[in-house]
Amino acid sequence: MHARPLRVRRLGRLEYGEALRLQKETELSVRERREPDTLLLVEHPHVLTVGRRATRELILAGPEQLAARGVAVYETNRGGKMTYHGLGQVVGYPVINLSPDREDVHKYVRDLEEALIRAMLDFSVEAFRVPGLTGVHTAAGKVAAIGVHIARWVTTHGFALNVNTDLDYFKLIVACEGEPVASLKGILGRELQLREVEDRVVARFAEVFGATPVEGAELWEEAGV
DSSP characters over 25-47 = HHHHHHHTTSS-EEEEEEEPSSE
d(CA 206, CA 171): 34
**N- to C-terminal Cα distance for the chain?**
18
Element (H, E) at 137: strand 136-138
DSSP characters over 48-105 = EEE-TT--GGGB-S-HHHHHHTT-EEEE-SSSSSEEEE-TTEEEEEEE-B-TTT---H
Active site residue 176: yes
DSSP state, 160? E
Element (H, E) at 73: strand 72-75
CB distance 200 to 125 below 8 Å: no
**Mapping DSSP to helix (H, G, I), strand (E, B) and coil, where does residue 10 land?**
strand
- Which one of 163, 176, 187, 206 is the catalytic residue? 176
Residues identified as active-site: 176
